[in-house]
Amino acid sequence: MTWEQHREQLAKEYAHPPVLAKDLPHELEDRINYLPRYARRADNMQVKLFEAAIAENTETDEPHAPPIHIINDIDDDLTPPYEFHYSNLMWHGEGVPKPDWENLRGCDCIGPCDPKSETCICAQRHRQHFESPGFLYDERGRLTSQGYPIFECNDLCRCSDDCINRVVQRGRKYPINICKTEDKGWGVFAGHKRIPANTYIGIYAGEYLTESEAEERGVLYNKFGRTYLFDVDFWHLRVDDPNWTSKYSIDAYHAGNFTRYLNHSCDPNCSINAVYINEANIDKPLLAIFTTRDVRPGDELCFSYYGEDDDSDEDAPKSPHESICMPNDAVYRECRCGAAKCTGNMWR
């Protein structure tokens, strides 16, 4: 098979994601939820199944990621509610265009891309956006500037897997746990290793929804006091158009990964950056979570549901993303992040 044929075949495969999130199988969840509590508790069955589902559903796209553990030292809940399909993939709701492969371009570099190359179209794309040579990652895969859109090399690129411009697609490298918190429900915590600043943690996986569908679902979620909706709203999307409004939201309610348990903090140690890999539609980035400072083992990982802090890195743009989706009747609730500079409210 020639390289061109390989590219064509990939384009066909990626243009048709298999199922909508609402059609995902949920027999396992239903069966577990139906069992009496003593049975789910016996031999730690529910926890083992939850952890096994995480490992199984991410084996293909994140084969080297350390396992995720569920830990509850607070109360009797065995695991987070068994109510969603665990997945690192993005799903597409009704009316959301499939990934745009027609306009996706790949580089022709042999071996890893050279950030200073005059011929690498991925390096050129970065130069167009940032007017400086180099990709947004250093040789250890850490982000060099937070808050800018990242265009990683993609499946149409000829460069090697160890290219410096492939980080999010290689997956999570650090252990994390999903733990019950005292007063914010479940949360995400660093495992036994210190996580350096600017390290990739995970993408906010879920279902792309049109804004109208997100509004409808948001009203429902507010009724039970938990929302997993996130507006796709970044400064680089609005910059040339004062009338720009967000086209899509990501909902991690039906399908998502551990990032759906990231709580809000008024002094966050993580932020969200727009990343494009196998997608040429600028309105549909992946929401990639990176640490913004060193995180000690066992510390909770949090981001600001309102975007970046005013006193963040001087060189980084302010408010790279707008917010977790706040429908018009959003419930104002007390923020329990515990930070010294906590504003007191979660929806301010």
Enumerate binding residues for ligand SAM (CB under 6 A).
Answer: 184-187, 225-228, 260-261, 263-264, 335-337, 346
Distance of alpha carbon 10 from alpha carbon 176, whole angstroms: 32
Identity of the residue numbered 305: Y
Give the CA angle between residues 202, 208, 211 to the nearest 5°: 130
Distance of alpha carbon 110 from alpha carbon 13, whole angstroms: 24
Task: Compute how many other C-beta atoms are within 10 angstroms of the C-beta atom of residue 76.
Answer: 8
Residue 104 or 209 having the CB closest to ligand SAM: 209
Residue 217 or 260 having the CB closest to ligand SAM: 260
Which residues lie closer than 8 Å to 67 by C-beta, 6 or more apart? Answer: 51, 54, 55, 175
DSSP 2-63: -HHHHHHHHHHHHTS-S--GGGS--HHHHHHHHS-HHHHHGGGHHHHHHHHHHHHHHTTT-T
As measured in angstroms, the least distance from the Cβ of 45 to ligand SAM is 21
Distance of alpha carbon 285 from alpha carbon 180, whole angstroms: 30
Residue 41 or 336 having the CB closest to ligand SAM: 336
As measured in angstroms, the least distance from the Cβ of 39 to ligand SAM is 24
As measured in angstroms, the least distance from the Cβ of 184 to ligand SAM is 4
Residue 263 or 273 having the CB closest to ligand SAM: 263
Residue 96 or 325 having the CB closest to ligand SAM: 325
Residue 32 or 337 having the CB closest to ligand SAM: 337
Mutual orientation of helices 45-58 and 27-34 as an angle, nearest 10°? Answer: 170
As measured in angstroms, the least distance from the Cβ of 91 to ligand SAM is 17
Q: Which residue is nearest to ligand SAM (CB)?
A: 185
Displacement of CA 131 from its chain's centroid (Å): 27
As measured in angstroms, the least distance from the Cβ of 241 to ligand SAM is 29
Phi and psi angles of residue 310, each rounded to the nearest 5 degrees, phi first: -65, -30
Which residues lie closer than 8 Å to 318 by C-beta, 6 or more apart? Answer: 147, 235, 307, 308, 310, 312
As measured in angstroms, the least distance from the Cβ of 24 to ligand SAM is 19
| H-state helical runs in 105-210 | 121-130
Residue 108 or 216 having the CB closest to ligand SAM: 216
Residue 182 or 216 having the CB closest to ligand SAM: 182
